[in-house]
Structure 1
């Protein structure tokens, strides 16, 4: 089942549709979009760069979903999903490469990990995210997953000022270790910042917080992607009612 949205855009009316990305050609589309976003905006060091793709060992074990502009046929957003069964076969979730996840084995209920989420710069608006979230809701509903977890990134090109300023805000409202504690394998360097330094929260991280997600610890420095990754955990039955409509089929 797919969701269609027609978000307002001053340049053109867009018709966006979510889809499951199935098969090698669709996966390469997702990998190509990831490469353009991560390499172009973050100067990330990526496997598959020689083919203008972002490729890693997890892709083959994940489900991939995306958002397509029906007017142009272009894939404009994508994310990948790794469930607990696939993670068991792999021996780990992707997040465990960056964090020691104390309590993961004790979570009561199926777990789905979201990762490699990216949106074409020209489509970064609420409409695109809502379409992507709608398809994610279908996956959550079909699998009966109780927890959604993953990493949300903060750019580190400024040496970590933005990341530390954002973390000062997140610790006050969104830090929770009730279910799980995430300890970064590579903590960020400490900066002596005044408490009144303000930085904008990246759109994807902000979207998770609005849904009701919590952060489970301090961020991890991802040198390949030039970002600080914040581990987030969303318990399905604690979705924020105001934004639960984005997960309409999963509540």
Structure 2
């Protein structure tokens, strides 16, 4: 079952696969949102993390939502939403497809999973939170036989000049293969070849943590950033082909799952 057919607490592609949550690591637990109260907590965290009064939109109803809770403080410290797609033929239903031309990505084989609205509470920086979030993601990917994990990685603000070094590094090292490349579709985009600032140290500092994680897993990106004035961000499309993730990285992710 996909999209609106997803039942809270499960995620699947053919109606049979289910990924087992919750997962617990130390004081933290990753689980599905299963109630209105859970969704309210997720939306509150998203609004705080993204600097908005309200962060809710129609795509939320199509997705399964995952929460990471601090069991000691009894609060949500991380959340994300996931949209399972049975194949590339369904990619037009994704959030990313509204602002990127994904016609080439749609030709890829196998189930896909869109990760969106991934955010961390600004007052909670324990590395175990992100480790557990990615462990939960790993169980979902494995359960659904996912071939491609994808989403949008956001840079704060809409001034491309702030991220010249990061965009230059993405252009030089991490562009999508030509036969998968997302094409421009949004009303306003920034092409990476418009700036040049070769500073590897600055490039890494400028990249958001989620994007750095994608890249360590062999992720590739669009050749442009979408300028999103509503969200006050610049964001790039990121795809991770599960078959291309380094084996050592896969072992680390699955070790947390146990």
Shared fold (TM-score greater than 0.5)? yes
Residue number among 230, 236, 241 corresponding to 1:235 in the alignment: 241
For the Cα contact (< 8 Å) 1:215–1:231, is it kept in 2? yes
Q: How does 1:74-223 map to 2 (within 5 A)?
A: 74-85=75-86, 92-156=93-157, 159-184=159-184, 185=186, 186-188=188-190, 193-196=195-198, 198-199=202-203, 200=205, 201-223=207-229
Count of paired positions: 230
Task: Give how far 1:212 is off.
Answer: 1.7
Output the aligned Cα RMSD: 2.6
Task: Give how far 1:88 is off.
Answer: 7.4
> Could you tell me which residue of structure 1 aligns to residue 34 of structure 2?
22
- Provide structure 2 residue ranges, at least 5 long, that are not aligned to the other structure: 1-20
Residue number among 2, 22, 33 corresponding to 1:2 in the alignment: 22
Secondary structure of the residue aligned to 1:232 is strand
TM-score under structure 2 normalisation?
A: 0.80
Q: Quote the Cα distance in structure 2 between the aligned partners of 1:189 and 1:125.
A: 35
* Bigger mean CA offset, 178-187 vs 199-208: 178-187
* Bigger mean CA offset, 18-27 vs 227-236: 18-27
Q: Quote the Cα distance in structure 1 between the aligned partners of 2:196 and 2:105.
A: 34
For the Cα contact (< 8 Å) 2:68–2:78, is it kept in 1? yes
Secondary structure of the residue aligned to 2:182 is strand
For the Cα contact (< 8 Å) 2:168–2:196, is it kept in 1? no
Deviations 1:115-144 (A, max 9, x none): 010001122343211100111111112211
Deviations 1:204-224 (A, max 9, x none): 111111122111321111111
In the superposition, relative to structure 1, how do residues 101 and 90 fare at CA in structure 2: closer, same or farther (>3 Å)?
Answer: closer
> Could you tell me which residue of structure 1 aligns to residue 45 of structure 2?
33
Q: Quote the Cα distance in structure 2 between the aligned partners of 1:141 and 1:58.
A: 24
- Provide structure 1 residue ranges, at least 5 long, that are not aligned to the other structure: 7-14
Secondary structure of the residue aligned to 1:58 is helix
For the Cα contact (< 8 Å) 1:163–1:228, is it kept in 2? no
In the superposition, relative to structure 1, how do residues 90 and 120 fare at CA in structure 2: closer, same or farther (>3 Å)?
Answer: same
> Could you tell me which residue of structure 2 aligns to residue 10 of structure 1?
none
